């Protein structure tokens, strides 16, 4: 066991750090630091910069455009991305569909879609959940009926993150009602511009609009857009959900957020002293840091096991579950730190470009403006990606044998 | 960077786990506890034969070398087996003091004996008023001719009643809670003026309260530097805290496993209790907390062998706090899920629970270490 970086790892870390810190556009960095809304351009501009450097898809095999990094290098890269205030890279193409196509796609599909994911020319979204199929995903009922060279798709997808920006959606659809519910599912790529595709935003409790309903009405999809075999989509979906669990814990971002807690607690006052000098608040921070460090070490262990050639198992469910708990605990610390001004709501923070406090809006310190909305927004984390209760079911079954 | 075990370490782990699985069940443990001194001398000799007592001791002093990770691997297995042998007091505390603070003469004299299983050691660092503060030392060591005279009381000294030598902290100068002025002495357990009141601990080990009245020692009894003993003590106790956090993970894994096994067997309402989701989800929490404690613990162990003392102290505090918190949760849940059987002396789980609970009360409990981390935090914030 060695926790100190070796000279090559240190050199790599420095190279990555130097590039990311000098390349991130300041206006994007400001938005990320303050938790402000990012628009499509912010993501795309930044992702294109990373693409030019060859670093946009760390987990992809080299032959498809990945940088060929080791698990440790990928871990260090994640750390530096967060430290440099990088926006989250949009995962749907990079971490979900990309690996799926590498594993299951035809040569034509790989050639057609992978380069456009790398270059951020195509924005993908994920069509899994339906109004009647949340945790019980396999019960999904969006139908795809074969009609010559096409499937005709009818149904509704929901909770579709950033569908309003998307060019394409990958969908789980039902192609058969025979046998077990998992057996009749297929994995289909649908162009969002196809007639019959309608996106309707869902306003969330923080006032934001990042999730959507996607309605599919007699949408004609070429059969070439099927990934894997017909009725074998559940295998593809399981691969997608189980792949690339590293980073799912969000350790690097949580570390960055803990810095934000410190900064805010240094500015906020309690009884005439900075909050950060308050023993009780410091103990709360210490507690979250314990949990965060324990999570990081568990991830590092799993990552080292992977580097040693052992396949990641269902243990990664721990990362999702405990990772989101830590993330949510940090949103609570932030909320607590800003005190009574947590309640102040400046609707302008929902706009594409918030100029900062003090114009026509309420007088709220810049650091406090998004804290409450972030807290509310982040309740999603323990729900999405297989709710934390589903993760417990996985652990109970696959690890404890219950 | 690499955070998993080498092939060699995996061999040590397999051997230790096999030993406790095959040769150390609850009945064996009960027999060992009933022996004089509360442990089995033959088992101790076996530990020596297997090289366990020589870990961390340089090869030219009768040891087999290796770092703290190897020791942690053994302790994790000992945790799962609920070993009652004085490994912590002799190897981790006594051996730790000797390796970190001992002069070449002291090391050459004592470490080969320790590695061979011929020397048992204890460390008295706590006093009735000190709670978990290592600097709170009222025991005095007054210069007397060429040596010192020690007076004071040490409490809950693990295995004090059976060991050959006891290390103690004593004040050579300063006030009772001063950081400076503490010195570590290594005294013979049967020296005139040393009285040990020996007793069992709640979790099945032995400990003793040590009274020192006019105990005369020579300068050769000093371990490390005169007046700088707190630094040595803190380093050794931090390392022990990190190691016992890993031992705790071993206890937790055994606790979770025996709970899962029991709930697969035990039927109510016509089916195994393990079929009920409400209970499954509680066991998944036990499992996850075990994993988190284990890897945080190993991180802290690795840090103890590094040069950065403040990183080592922080990591030890984190690991020990986590062990206390997770230990309480897992122990309580395990007993609850066992139902009535969980509160019987007959079941393994009740012994695991008691050990987990008492691990929290050695080297500082969770509240102590969270408070300590919070104090470190303010230091960082000011920096």
Q: What is the pLDDT of residues A339-373, one digit of tens each?
A: 999 999 888 888 888 888 876 778 888 999 999 99
pLDDT given at position B378: 61
Domain end residue (candidates: B95, B119, B143): B119
Q: pLDDT above 70 covers what percent of chain B? A: 98
**Closest CB from A3, A294, A308 relative to B296:** A294
Q: Tell me the average pLDDT across A39-53.
A: 98
Q: Which of B73, B96, B119 is the last residue of a domain?
A: B119
The number of folded domains in chain B is 3
Domain CATH number, residue A380: 1.20.140.10
The answer as to whether B200 is a domain residue is yes
| Per-residue pLDDT tens digits for A73-88 | 999 999 999 999 999 9
Tell me how close the Cα of B269 comes to any Cα of chain A, in angstroms: 17
For residues A186 and A74, membership in a common domain is answered with no
Looking at the fold, whether B267 and B161 belong to one and the same domain comes out as no
Query: What ranges make up the beta strands (E) of B68-218?
Result: 121-124, 140-144, 147-158, 165-171, 182-188, 194-200, 206-217
Question: What's the burial of B190, exposed, middle or buried (CB within 10 Å: 0-12/13-18/19+)?
Answer: exposed
- The residue out of B226, B242, B271 marking a domain boundary is B226
Closest to A402 (Cβ–Cβ): which among B5, B260, B296? B260
- B255 plus B347 within the same structural domain: yes
Residue in chain A nearest B259 by alpha carbon: A400
* Cβ atoms of residues A160 and A127 within 8 Å: yes
Q: Give the residue from chain B lying closest to A315, CA to CA.
A: B288
What is the ipTM, given to two decimal places? 0.96
Q: What confidence score (pLDDT) does residue B383 get?
A: 39
- Chain A closest-CA separation from residue B10 CA (Å): 12
| 8 Å CB contact of B284 and A396 | yes
Q: Are residues B237 and B342 in the same domain?
A: yes
- Enclosing domain of residue A30: 7-89
Nearest residue in A to B8, CA atom: A1
* Residue the block writes with tokens 């991830």: A299
- Beta-bridge partners for A153: A144, A219
In this prediction, residue A304 has a pLDDT band, given cuts at 50, 70 and 90, of very high
Neighbours of B162 (CB within 10 A): 21
User: Using a CB-CB distance cutoff of 8 angstroms, which residues of chain A are in contact with residue B303?
Assistant: 3
**Once rounded to an integer, what is the mean pLDDT over residues A14-24?**
98
pLDDT on residue B379: 54
> What's the whole-number mean pLDDT along residues A158-180?
97
Structural domain containing residue B211: 122-226
Q: Are residues A228 and A350 in the same domain?
A: no
Cβ–Cβ gap B318/A294 under 8 Å: yes
Residue at A96 is within a domain? no
Residues B243 and B195 in one domain: no
Distance CA A215, CA A131 (A): 11
Domain-terminating residue out of A181, A207, A236: A236
| Tally of structural domains, chain A | 3
**Residues B250, B361 share a domain:** yes
Q: What is the pLDDT of residues B264-279, one digit of tens each?
A: 999 999 999 999 999 9
Q: For the domain that residue A216 is a member of, what is the CATH number?
A: 2.40.110.10
Would residue A377 count as lying in a domain? Answer: yes
For residues A22-50, give the mean pLDDT.
Answer: 97
Partners of A399 on chain B (C-beta within 8 Å) are 287
Interface list for A 65-94 with B (CB within 8 A) = 72, 75
Distance CA A333, CA A285 (A): 8
Instruction: Read off the DSSP letter of residue B360.
Output: T
The alpha carbon of residue B284 and the mean position of all alpha carbons in its chain are separated, in whole angstroms, by: 27
Same domain, B235 and B266: yes
Are residue B82 and residue B146 in the same domain, yes or no?
Answer: no
Residues in chain A: 402
Domain final residue, candidates A184, A211, A236: A236
Residues A314 and A217 in one domain: no
B2 to chain A, minimum CA–CA distance in Å?
5
Q: Which residues of chain A neighbour B69 with C-beta distances below 8 Å?
A: 1
Task: Report the pLDDT value the prediction gives residue B381, as an integer from 0 to 100.
Answer: 45
In this structure, is residue B139 part of a structural domain?
A: yes
Size of interface A-B (CB pairs under 8 A): 131
Across-strand partners of A133?
Answer: A130
Task: In whole angstroms, give the CA distance from residue B81 to residue B20.
Answer: 5
Q: Is residue A244 annotated as part of the catalytic site, yes or no?
A: yes
Q: What are the tens digits of pLDDT across the range B193-243?
A: 999 999 999 999 999 999 999 999 999 999 999 999 999 999 999 999 999
Closest CA to A290 of B69, B379, B377, B1: B377
Nearest to B370 among A277, A286, A294 (CB): A286
**Within-domain flag for A43:** yes
Q: Which of A79, A130, A210, A244 is catalytic?
A: A244
Same-domain status, B248 and B352: yes
Q: Give the pLDDT confidence of A137-163 residue by residue, as tens digits.
A: 999 999 999 999 999 999 999 999 999
Beta-strand runs (E) in chain B: 121-124, 140-144, 147-158, 165-171, 182-188, 194-200, 206-217, 222-223, 267-268, 271-272
pLDDT of residue B340: 97
The CATH number given to whatever domain includes residue B24 is 1.10.540.10
Say if residue B30's pLDDT is above 50.
Answer: yes
Contact yes or no for A298 and B284 at CB 8 A: no
Q: Is B82 helix (H, G, I), strand (E, B) or coil?
A: coil
- More confident of the two residues B381 and B130: B130
Domain contains B78: yes
Residue A286 touches chain B, beta carbons under 8 Å? yes
Say which of A287, A304, A399 has its CB closest to residue B370: A287
């Amino acid at each position: 066991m060695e926790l100190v970086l070796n000279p090559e790892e240190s050199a790599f870390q420095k190279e990555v750090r130097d590039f990311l810190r000098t390349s991130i556009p300041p206006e994007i960095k400001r938005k990320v630091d303050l938790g402000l809304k990012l628009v499509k351009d912010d993501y795309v501009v930044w992702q294109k910069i990373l693409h030019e450097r060859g670093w946009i898809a760390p987990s992809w095999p080299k032959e498809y455009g990945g940088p060929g990094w080791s698990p440790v290098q990928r871990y260090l890269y994640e750390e530096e991305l967060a430290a440099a205030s990088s926006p989250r890279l949009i995962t749907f193409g990079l971490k979900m569909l990309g690996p799926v196509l590498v594993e299951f796609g035809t040569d034509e599909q790989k050639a057609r879609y992978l380069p456009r994911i790398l270059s951020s020319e195509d924005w993908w979204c994920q069509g899994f959940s339906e109004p009647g199929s949340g945790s019980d995903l396999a019960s999904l009922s969006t139908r795809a009926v074969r009609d010559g060279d096409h499937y005709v798709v009818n149904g509704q997808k929901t909770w579709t993150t950033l569908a309003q920006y998307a060019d394409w959606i990958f969908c789980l659809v039902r192609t058969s009602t025979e046998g077990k519910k998992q057996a009749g599912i297929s994995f289909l790529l649908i162009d969002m511009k196809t007639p019959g595709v309608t996106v309707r935003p869902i306003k969330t409790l923080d006032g934001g609009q990042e999730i959507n309903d996607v309605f599919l009405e007699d949408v004609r999809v070429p059969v070439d857009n099927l990934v894997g075999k017909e009725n074998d989509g559940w295998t593809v979906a399981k691969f997608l959900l189980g792949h690339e669990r590293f980073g799912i814990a969000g350790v690097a971002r949580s570390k960055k957020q803990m810095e934000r807690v410190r900064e805010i607690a240094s500015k906020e006052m309690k009884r005439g002293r900075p909050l950060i000098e308050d023993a009780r608040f410091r103990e709360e921070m210490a507690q979250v840091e314990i949990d965060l460090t324990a999570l990081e070490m568990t991830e590092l262990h799993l990552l080292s096991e992977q580097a040693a050639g052992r396949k990641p198992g269902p243990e990664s469910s721990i990362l999702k579950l405990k990772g989101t708990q830590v993330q949510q605990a940090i949103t609570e610390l932030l909320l607590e730190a800003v005190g009574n001004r947590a309640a102040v709501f400046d609707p302008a923070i929902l706009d594409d470009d918030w100029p900062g406090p003090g114009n026509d809006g309420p007088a709220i310190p810049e650091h406090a403006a998004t804290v409450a909305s972030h807290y509310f927004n982040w309740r999603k984390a323990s729900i999405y990606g297989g709710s934390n209760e589903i993760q417990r079911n996985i652990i109970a079954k696959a690890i404890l044998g219950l | 960077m690499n955070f998993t075990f080498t092939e060699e370490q995996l061999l040590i782990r397999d051997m230790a786990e096999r030993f406790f699985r095959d040769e150390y069940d609850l009945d064996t443990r009960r027999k060992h506890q009933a022996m004089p001194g509360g442990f089995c001398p033959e088992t101790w000799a076996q530990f020596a034969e297997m090289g366990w007592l020589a870990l961390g001791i340089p090869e030219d002093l009768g040891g087999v070398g290796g770092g703290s990770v190897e020791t942690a691997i053994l302790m994790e297995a000992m945790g799962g087996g609920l070993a009652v042998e004085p490994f912590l007091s002799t190897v981790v505390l006594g051996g730790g003091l000797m390796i970190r603070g001992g002069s070449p003469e002291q090391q050459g004299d004592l470490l080969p004996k320790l590695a061979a299983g011929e020397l048992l050691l204890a460390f008295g660092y706590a006093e009735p008023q000190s709670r978990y503060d290592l600097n709170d030392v009222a025991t005095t060591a007054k210069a007397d001719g060429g040596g010192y005279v020690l007076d004071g009381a040490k409490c809950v000294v693990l295995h004090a009643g059976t060991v050959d030598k006891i290390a103690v902290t004593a004040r050579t100068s300063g006030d009772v809670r001063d950081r400076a002025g503490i010195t570590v002495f290594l005294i013979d357990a049967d020296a005139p003026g040393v009285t040990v009141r020996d007793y069992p601990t709640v979790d099945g080990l032995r400990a003793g309260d040590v009274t020192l009245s006019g105990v005369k020692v020579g300068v050769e009894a000093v371990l490390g530097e005169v007046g700088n003993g707190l630094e040595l003590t803190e380093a050794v106790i931090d390392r022990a805290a990190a190691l016992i956090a890993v031992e705790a993970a071993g206890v937790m894994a055994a606790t979770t496993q025996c709970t899962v096994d029991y709930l697969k067997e035990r039927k109510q309402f016509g089916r195994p209790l393990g079929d009920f989701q409400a209970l499954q989800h509680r066991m998944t929490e036990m499992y996850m907390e075990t994993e988190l404690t284990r890897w945080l613990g190993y991180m802290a162990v690795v840090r103890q062998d590094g040069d950065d003392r403040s990183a080592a102290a922080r990591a030890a505090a984190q690991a020990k706090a986590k062990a206390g918190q997770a230990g309480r949760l897992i122990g309580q849940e395990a007993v609850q899920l066992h139902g009535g059987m969980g509160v019987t002396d007959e079941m393994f789980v009740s012994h695991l629970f008691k050990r987990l609970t008492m691990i929290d009360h050695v080297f500082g409990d969770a509240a102590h270490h969270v408070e300590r981390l919070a104090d470190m935090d303010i230091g960082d914030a000011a920096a």
